[in-house]
């Protein structure tokens, strides 16, 4: 990217993106396709910062046989532009697998394959991203009492640098969620780090794993550890009676449609809540039925042959976890009888979910200009722009963290292609910097960063 020399006025971007996961890769593609269509004057200048050293999508959970929970047609582009050269089908063609994929008759590719697709797409727009760059803060640039620009502080191997933008798009994704009071250790993991941690067990012979949780990730962890360590017992602990299947039936699936975002956005608060209650089981705390069947089949087979390694401690809660010199001691409490069982394990994996990264956490004093609803949640407009006081002239767009306003697709891939198109339209409607075309210096240099 263009760099300001020391002493230069900062370069101004129409848009700075924070994070370069699938949401912002899709954003970069939408921008790139737009810029290829229009002249220099109408081109949007943008740059993205990603803290990881290279593209990575939930690498810790790239279990070799895990599949996507979304149709490949909901890739980074197709719903917005079915003719895009960044589609999953174009990726398959470039890899020489298009015909093999078609013969497979499968809408849900392997997760490792979709990761490869994301990486391929991210590579095609890599002139728009700096990897190994973590955004650590945002400061308002005030002119005549109004916030005209935002200064984004970025930390990299070269130290701190400040980049100026008219708009931000925050796509910082999800954070692993541990139960309150439980710290991660060498033996206490969150499933998000599964594969890296498992590699660290190479050369040891663990005898027991405990996996806490009843969602898709928990079930995948149980199946994977059971397969990978053929001499170890795997205990699944959850408060439900059994795993519940994900509702992926056609009518329910419409909750992920672009039109559902419009309806959810305009619905009254009590209807929003009801919709989440009705259809939370399309996504939350549910498991693919095929995986449920596989686990049950495995458990039953072990019962028959008398080699039980797969144990399900249902209607139970893990109420204590303590590292001992060479194990971890877990207390499992039955919710039926209150009886406590002590289990010594080599590892406890918490598959206890994720929460969206706090969307305004990075905004510093700019966050004070973001409007909140009655419940203290950030208010977001239909175009994914945070509602702010009128003196903030910049747009701060959210990709994620909008479930309370835009519905269940907020943290998912289903609507990404459409969402980035809507954000782009909003940017264009609101107008770009004059002489747009590439990052450029501030003409009069009068911008001051409020401290």
C-alpha distances in Å from residue 4, one per residue of 134, 161, 441 = 19, 10, 8
* 8 Å CB contact between 129 and 20: yes
- Say how far apart CA 7 and CA 154 lie, in whole Å: 18
Considering the complex, state which of residue 98 and residue 174 has its C-beta at the smaller distance from ligand FAD: 174
Considering the complex, state which of residue 69 and residue 207 has its C-beta at the smaller distance from ligand FAD: 69
Considering the complex, state which of residue 69 and residue 334 has its C-beta at the smaller distance from ligand FAD: 69
Burial class (CB in 10 A: 0-12, 13-18, 19+), 290: exposed
| N-terminal to C-terminal alpha carbon distance within the chain | 27
Instruction: Collect contacts of 257-266 with beta carbons under 8 A, ≥24 apart.
Output: 257/415, 258/79, 258/415, 258/418, 260/407, 260/408, 260/409, 261/406, 261/407, 261/409, 261/415, 261/418, 261/419, 262/382, 264/405, 264/406, 264/407, 264/408, 265/382, 265/405, 265/406, 265/407
Shortest approach of ligand FAD to residue 63 CB, angstroms? 9
Considering the complex, state which of residue 244 and residue 314 has its C-beta at the smaller distance from ligand FAD: 244
* 8 Å CB contact between 333 and 321: no
Considering the complex, state which of residue 259 and residue 304 has its C-beta at the smaller distance from ligand FAD: 259
Considering the complex, state which of residue 74 and residue 309 has its C-beta at the smaller distance from ligand FAD: 74
C-alpha distances in Å from residue 357, one per residue of 12, 125, 411 = 26, 25, 10
Interface contacts to ligand FAD, rule CB under 6 A: 18-24, 49-52, 57-58, 61, 68-70, 134-135, 171-174, 217, 354, 362, 399-400, 411-414
Parallel, antiparallel or unpaired: strands 11-18 and 440-441: antiparallel
C-alpha distances in Å from residue 244, one per residue of 152, 239, 286, 309 = 44, 12, 5, 22
């Amino acid at each position: 990217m263009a760099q300001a020399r020391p002493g230069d006025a900062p370069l101004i971007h129409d848009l700075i993106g924070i994070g370069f996961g699938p949401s912002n890769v899709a954003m970069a593609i939408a921008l790139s396709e737009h810029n290829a269509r229009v002249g220099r004057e109408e081109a949007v200048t943008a740059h993205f910062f990603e803290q990881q050293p290279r593209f990575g999508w939930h690498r810790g959970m790239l279990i070799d046989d895990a599949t996507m929970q979304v149709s490949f047609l909901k890739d980074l582009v197709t719903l917005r532009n079915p003719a895009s050269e960044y589609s999953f089908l174009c990726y398959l063609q470039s890899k020489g697998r298009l015909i093999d994929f078609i013969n497979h008759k499968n809408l849900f590719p392997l997760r490792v394959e979709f990761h490869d697709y994301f990486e391929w797409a991210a590579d095609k727009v890599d002139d728009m991203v700096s990897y190994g760059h973590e955004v650590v803060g945002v400061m308002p640039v005030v002119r005549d009492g109004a916030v005209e620009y935002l200064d984004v502080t970025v930390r990299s191997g070269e130290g701190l640098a400040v980049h100026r933008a008219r708009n931000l798009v925050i796509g910082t994704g999800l954070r692993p969620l541990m139960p309150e009071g439980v710290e991660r250790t060498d033996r206490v993991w969150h499933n998000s780090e599964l594969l890296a941690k498992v590699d660290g067990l190479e050369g040891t012979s663990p005898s027991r794993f405990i996996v806490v949780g009843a969602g898709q990730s928990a079930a995948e962890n149980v199946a994977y550890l059971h397969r990978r360590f053929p001499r170890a017992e795997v205990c699944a602990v959850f408060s439900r009676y059994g795993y519940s299947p994900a509702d992926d039936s056609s009518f329910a699936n419409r909750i992920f449609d672009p039109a559902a975002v419009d309806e959810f956005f305009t619905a009254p608060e009590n209807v929003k809540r009801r919709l989440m209650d009705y259809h939370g089981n399309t996504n939350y705390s549910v498991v693919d039925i095929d995986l449920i069947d596989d686990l049950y089949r495995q458990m039953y087979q072990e019962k028959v042959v008398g080699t039980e390694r797969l144990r399900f401690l249902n209607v139970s809660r893990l109420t204590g976890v303590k590292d001992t010199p060479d194990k971890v001691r877990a207390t499992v409490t039955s919710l039926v009888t209150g009886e406590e069982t002590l289990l010594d394990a080599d590892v406890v994996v918490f598959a206890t979910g994720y929460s969206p990264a706090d969307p305004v956490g990075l905004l510093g004093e700019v966050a004070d200009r973001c409007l909140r609803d009655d419940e203290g949640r950030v208010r977001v407009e239909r175009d994914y722009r945070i509602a702010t006081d009128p003196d903030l002239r910049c747009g701060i767009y959210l990709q994620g963290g909008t479930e309370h306003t835009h519905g269940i697709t907020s943290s998912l891939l289903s609507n990404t292609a459409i969402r980035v198109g809507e954000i782009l339209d909003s940017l264009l409607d609101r107008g770009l910097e004059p002489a747009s075309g590439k990052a450029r210096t501030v003409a009069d240099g009068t911008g001051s960063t409020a401290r």
